[in-house]
């Protein structure tokens, strides 16, 4: 059980990072919405967990936050990716791509016999 949770957590972290890298400064709701839109609402997100992910990323110094005003004139916290976060994102993306390659090879199966 915990393994799956970990992968999911890590995946969410990566999604958040990528979103911030693509769109610059966003608040929590904006991030959640963007992820839902991009995935065509295929990801059923408990939106609150975004904030747990944000805390984790912030503690590692990969994102930074600033208080600002939202589009409906509310106090909101805006998150941006840091230099370290971009590096991490690059590394993680490479990881994912390699993992994806291996997964697809495993699934097609034919190449194993060679």
Partner 1 sequence: MTQWLRVAWSRLRAVASRRRLDREFDAELVTHLELLTEELRRRGLSTADARREALRKLGQPAALRDVHRDERGLPLADALGRDLRHAVRNARRSPVFTAVVSLSLAVGIGATTALFSLVDSLMLRSLPVAGADRLFQIQVVPVVAGAPRKARIAFDPQAFEAVRTRREVFSGVVGFTRLERPLVEVAGRSDPSREVEQVSVNYFRELGVTPVAGRMPDDADADIAVISARLWRTRFDGRQQAIGQMLLVDSRPYAIVGVAPPRFHGFTLDSSADIWISSRSGSPDLMMVARLTSGTSVVRARHAVESLLRDQFLERFRSFPPDQAVDTELLPAGRGLSRLRGQYGSALAALMALVTIVLLATCSNVGNLLVLRSAARGRELTVRAALGASRSRLVFQYVVESLFIAAIGCAAGVALAAWGVVAVLGLLPIAAVPDSLAFRADPRMLGFAVGISVLAAALFGLAPAWRATEVDLTGPLRSSQGTTSPRRIRRLGRGLVACQVGLSVVLLVGAGLFVQTLRNLARVDVGFPVSGLVQVQIDTRFAGSSQSPASQGASQAGGAGPVAGVFRLLRERLATLPGVTAVTGVRNPLMQRSWAVMSVSLPGLERQPDVTWDTAQVGPDFFETMGIPAIHGRVFAASDFEHTGERFVVNETFARSFYPGDDILRRAPSIVGIVRDTRLFDVRSEVRPVMYQMLAREPDRISSLQVRVDGDAAAALPAIRKAVVDVNPRLLVGIRTMQDELDRDISRERMVASTSVLFGALGLVLASIGIFGVASFAVADRTKELAIRRALGAGRWPVVRASLGETMVVFGVGLAGGALAATAVVRVAAVTISDLVFGLTATDTGYVAAALVVLVTVAAAACVVPAMRAASIDPLHGIRDG
Q: Which of 6, 7, 8, 74 binds partner 1 (CB under 8 A)?
A: 74
CB closer to partner 1 out of 4 and 75: 75
**Taking CB under 8 A as the rule, does residue 38 contact partner 1?**
no
CA nearest to 20, candidates 61, 64, 56: 64
**Taking CB under 8 A as the rule, does residue 37 contact partner 1?**
no
User: Over the Cα atoms of the chain, what is R_g?
Assistant: 16
CA nearest to 62, candidates 53, 71, 75: 53
CB closer to partner 1 out of 55 and 103: 55
Q: Are 55 and 28 in contact (CB under 8 A)?
A: no
CB closer to partner 1 out of 5 and 112: 5
Q: Which of 52, 91, 99, 103 binds partner 1 (CB under 8 A)?
A: 52
- Which are the contacts of 47, defined by CB distance < 8 A and separation ≥ 6? 28, 29, 32
Which positions touch partner 1 (CB under 8 A)? 27-29, 32-33, 45-49, 51-52, 55-56, 58-61, 70-72, 74-77
């Amino acid at each position: 059980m915990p393994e799956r949770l970990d992968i999911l957590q890590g995946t969410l972290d990566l999604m958040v990072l990528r979103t911030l890298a693509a769109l610059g400064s966003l608040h929590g709701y904006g991030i959640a919405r963007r992820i839902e839109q991009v995935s065509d609402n295929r990801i059923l997100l408990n939106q609150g967990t975004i904030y747990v992910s944000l805390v984790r990323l912030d503690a590692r110094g990969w994102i930074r936050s600033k208080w600002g005003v939202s589009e409906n004139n509310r106090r909101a916290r805006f998150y941006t990716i840091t230099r370290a976060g971009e590096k991490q994102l690059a590394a993680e993306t490479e990881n994912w791509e390699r993992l994806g390659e291996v997964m697809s090879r495993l699934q097609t199966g034919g190449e194993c016999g060679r």
